[in-house]
Amino acid sequence: MPLVTTKEMFEKSMKEHFAIGAFNVNNMEIIQGIVDAAAKENSPVILQASSGAIKYARIPYLTKMVEAALEEHDIPVALHLDHGPDFETCKMCIDNGFTSVMIDGSKYDFEENVALTKQVVDYAHAHGVVVEAELGKLAGIEDDVNVAEGDAMYTDPEQAREFVERTGCDSLAIAIGTSHGAYKFKGEAKLRFDILAKIKELIPNTPIVLHGASTVIPELVEMCNTYGGDIPGAKGVPDEMLHEASVSGVSKINVDTDLRLAMTGAIRKVFNEDPSAFDPRKYLTPARDLVEETVAHKIRDVFGSSNKA
Ligand code: G3H
Ligand code: 13P
Ligand code: ZN
């Protein structure tokens, strides 16, 4: 099956109350781990690359590896630009066969965000590509995402309605308490499900996206730390909350940190247990396997997208 947009998978997710995992990709092993899991679970899946990932892997490699995955598996796969920083990056991805792009205008004020998003929507829709936009600010630090905790801001539901109306974006990322990276909560995890409910009430037909939604799986953190890592006090969104989000109107759940932890934990384990190892296949095979296991767990036990392909 050729690459698809997220249109049909989101329609199904809203009708049948489940979420689709959007997993960040940087290399072949991560792509294979994700699509192998999704195919075994007979689930739709979104592969997303950030501009940092595109700089690292280079666009022809990313698109061709995803093409190869589609030759092997017959499930709906969308290729999405994660956190597109500007119009030019979105255009480059659209021109290179991505089926979905995110324009992240959340760093701008409302009017600038509307104008930039609208510009991307016009170009994307003319090329059969869908657009995710963001309103509200998540805390966290990644390559191209850098928001201090004090500057984080929940999404305003009334503004969300106006934003979607004026931009024509196809899906909306909202801020309800998640954040990027491995340190999401200092105390108890807390998400504002009341804001999500209000947003769904006002824009029931707009698929909602949750960024910063890794669980920061304790077993993976422990694996990293046991084998020489130093990631103290890491904490994410518990599976139960992500499940609640999946059945409460969130259509797309973004996961990067958990895959980074899986890759790193598996590789650290090999090096720690066998310091003489230097064949990349020896450490990348268990890393790929652990990515697959992690993704399968999320699809099957948390997001509920098994057998929704
Ligand atoms: O939300 C950001 C993603 O985790 C991508 O991170 O920009 O470091 O590739 P990155
Ligand atoms: P995590 O850091 O929680 O995995 O979030 C990833 C993300 O939102 C990618 O856009
Ligand atoms: Zn994100």
CATH number of the domain that 150 lies in? 3.20.20.70
Asked if residue 309 belongs to a domain, the reply is no
Asked if residue 2 belongs to a domain, the reply is no
Protein residues with CB under 6 Å of any ligand 2 atom: 24, 82-83, 180-181, 211-214, 254-257
User: How many structural domains compose the chain?
Assistant: 1
pLDDT band per the 50, 70, 90 thresholds, residue 131: very high
Residue type, 169: C
- Is 60 exceeded by the pLDDT of residue 125? yes
- Determine what percent of the chain is predicted with pLDDT higher than 70: 96
Q: What integer pLDDT is reported at residue 234 of this predicted model?
A: 95
Asked if residue 197 belongs to a domain, the reply is yes
Length of the chain: 309
Asked if residue 142 belongs to a domain, the reply is yes
The closest-lying atom of ligand 2 relative to the alpha carbon of residue 211 is: 8
- Using CB atoms within 10 A of its CB, is residue 306 exposed (0-12), middle (13-18) or buried (19+)? middle
Write out the two tokens for 294: 């992690």
Which residues on neighbouring strands pair with residue 23, listed in sequence order? Answer: 47, 255
Nearby residues of 63 by Cβ (< 8 Å), 6 or more positions away: 79, 96, 97, 98
Average pLDDT of span 128-153:
76
Average pLDDT of span 259-271:
98
Give me the catalytic one of 36, 82, 156, 170: 82
- Is 60 exceeded by the pLDDT of residue 142? no
Average pLDDT of span 257-264:
98
- Is 60 exceeded by the pLDDT of residue 42? yes
Q: How much is the pTM?
A: 0.96
- How far is 265 from 304, CA to CA, in rounded Å? 26
Structural contact between residues 225 and 231, judged by C-beta atoms closer than 8 angstroms? yes
- Domain span holding position 295: 7-303
Asked if residue 1 belongs to a domain, the reply is no
How many whole angstroms from 142 Cα to the centroid of ligand 2? Answer: 9
Q: What integer pLDDT is reported at residue 150 of this predicted model?
A: 62
| β pairing state of 208-210 and 171-174 | parallel
Structural contact between residues 180 and 148, judged by C-beta atoms closer than 8 angstroms? no
pLDDT band per the 50, 70, 90 thresholds, residue 281: very high
Q: Whose CA is nearest to atom 2 of ligand 1?
A: 142
C-beta neighbour count of 156 within 10 angstroms: 18
Average pLDDT of span 153-172:
97
Q: What integer pLDDT is reported at residue 186 of this predicted model?
A: 86
Average pLDDT of span 194-222:
98
Q: What integer pLDDT is reported at residue 146 of this predicted model?
A: 59
Residue type, 132: E
What pLDDT digit, counting tens, does each position of 282-305 carry?
Answer: 999 999 999 999 999 999 999 999
Structural contact between residues 134 and 106, judged by C-beta atoms closer than 8 angstroms? yes
- How far is 225 from 242, CA to CA, in rounded Å? 25
Q: What integer pLDDT is reported at residue 144 of this predicted model?
A: 58
How many whole angstroms from 145 Cα to the centroid of ligand 1? Answer: 7
CA atoms within 13 A on the CB side of 284: 10
82 catalytic, yes or no?
yes
| β pairing state of 140-141 and 146-147 | antiparallel
Which H helix or E strand runs over 80?
strand 77-84
Average pLDDT of span 197-214:
98
Asked if residue 171 belongs to a domain, the reply is yes
How many whole angstroms from 219 Cα to the centroid of ligand 2? Answer: 18
Asked if residue 126 belongs to a domain, the reply is yes
Count of helices and strands (H, E) across the chain: 12, 10
Neighbours of ion ligand 3 (CB under 5 A): 211
Asked if residue 308 belongs to a domain, the reply is no
Q: Whose CA is nearest to atom 8 of ligand 1?
A: 143
